[in-house]
Structure 1
Amino acid sequence: MSLPHALLTSIAEKPSSGYELARRFDKSIGYFWHATHQQIYRELARMEEHGWVASAEVEGGRAGKKQFHVLAAGKEELRRWVKLSSPPMRLRDEMMVKLRADAAIGPIGLLEEFERRLVLHEEELHNYRLIEERDFNQPDLSRESHLHYLILKAGIAFEESRVQWTKEILAFLRKDEA
């Protein structure tokens, strides 16, 4: 996935200023595709050059505040991109290499880092559950909401598996260090 396609999707959902887009991005797509605010603004300028989005100054807003909306060429680009095959996600986690290093050279003191990571995964899972309870507790969801819920459920499943796996690693490390 590329950042322009993530941004096009977000703007297609709701035309936004760069600042609003960056904030919304942090609260939605940002859960599975990270970008800094600087990257977002730089990409918005490129997308405007390509004719995928247009911006207009917001009346009554701060000077220079622009709102972006998707143009026909941007929608076509999204349609083209969506039809491309996507490779399955491959795990790329530095901690896996650290575990291999631990296996190769002996205990290197990973217990504290895994304890920290367990807390982070539990917090993220808790946040996802709050979103689930707040946004998806009605039985008849619209198509859009149902798709958003399925995306959230993927995040929930990921965090549940990371919590379970991290607890297993912690149990092993604690026993190994005893």
Structure 2
Amino acid sequence: MSLPHALLTALVERSCSGSELAARFDRSIGYFWHATHQQIYRELARLEEAGLIESLPEQSTRGRKRAYRILAAGRDELRAWVAQEDEPAALRDEFMVRLRAEAAVGPTGLDEEVRRRIGLHEAKLALYREIEQKDFPTEPQDRETALHHLVLRAGVRYEENWLELLKEAQAALQMPLRTSRPERNRPKRK
């Protein structure tokens, strides 16, 4: 996913100022695609320069923010991007390497980090479930709502999966050490 397409999606849903867009982004798409407010403003300028969005004339009232709306070219770009084929994202997570390193050189105290991560994932899962109860009290009856709910459910499942994996890691870290480690990839002596 790219930040421009995330911003185009948000602007299709509703025209708004950069600060409103950044706040909306933090409360929705930002759970799945992180971007700083500076990155958002830079990308808005690029999208406007490319003719995909336009800023609306600022009203002369003090403190009025520049609002943006998507143009037909922006909708076309978004449609083309949605229809593209791509490969599923490869798992690239530093923590997986840390688990392997723990197996190779441990014990290192990784169990403290596992406990910390469990707390973070439990908090995020609780937040997602709270959002789900508030925003989806009943089963969606239309396509748009069902797709929004599906994205949220993906977040719920992601957090549940991490919690399951971290609890398995906790159990593995409590197991006894192997009495001898096999030597691997050592050159044979002649």
- Please say whether Structure 1 and Structure 2 have the same fold, judged by a TM-score greater than 0.5: yes
Change (3 A) 1:109 1:61: farther
For the Cα contact (< 8 Å) 1:57–1:64, is it kept in 2? Answer: no
Taking the aligned partners of 2:32 and 2:61, their CA distance within structure 1 comes to: 31
The amino acid of 2:55's aligned partner reads S
Taking the aligned partners of 2:9 and 2:159, their CA distance within structure 1 comes to: 24
The alpha carbon displacement at 1:64 in A equals 5.9
Q: Which has the larger radius of gyration?
A: 2
For the Cα contact (< 8 Å) 1:53–1:68, is it kept in 2? Answer: yes
Corresponding residue number in structure 2 for 1:6: 6
Structure 1: segments with no counterpart, 5+ residues? none
Corresponding residue number in structure 2 for 1:23: 23
Taking the aligned partners of 2:72 and 2:138, their CA distance within structure 1 comes to: 34
Taking the aligned partners of 2:126 and 2:21, their CA distance within structure 1 comes to: 25
* More helix per residue: 1
For the Cα contact (< 8 Å) 1:111–1:173, is it kept in 2? Answer: yes
Change (3 A) 1:140 1:45: closer
For the Cα contact (< 8 Å) 1:56–1:67, is it kept in 2? Answer: yes
The alpha carbon displacement at 1:86 in A equals 2.1
Change (3 A) 1:103 1:76: same
The alpha carbon displacement at 1:91 in A equals 1.7
Taking the aligned partners of 2:109 and 2:66, their CA distance within structure 1 comes to: 50
The amino acid of 1:42's aligned partner reads R
Taking the aligned partners of 1:147 and 1:132, their CA distance within structure 2 comes to: 13
Change (3 A) 1:61 1:30: farther
Structure 2: segments with no counterpart, 5+ residues? 178-190
For the Cα contact (< 8 Å) 1:121–1:163, is it kept in 2? Answer: yes
Taking the aligned partners of 1:61 and 1:92, their CA distance within structure 2 comes to: 48
Q: CA RMSD in A?
A: 1.6
Identity %: 54
TM-score normalised per structure 2: 0.88
Q: How many residues matched?
A: 177
Change (3 A) 1:114 1:8: same
The alpha carbon displacement at 1:100 in A equals 1.2
The alpha carbon displacement at 1:65 in A equals 1.5
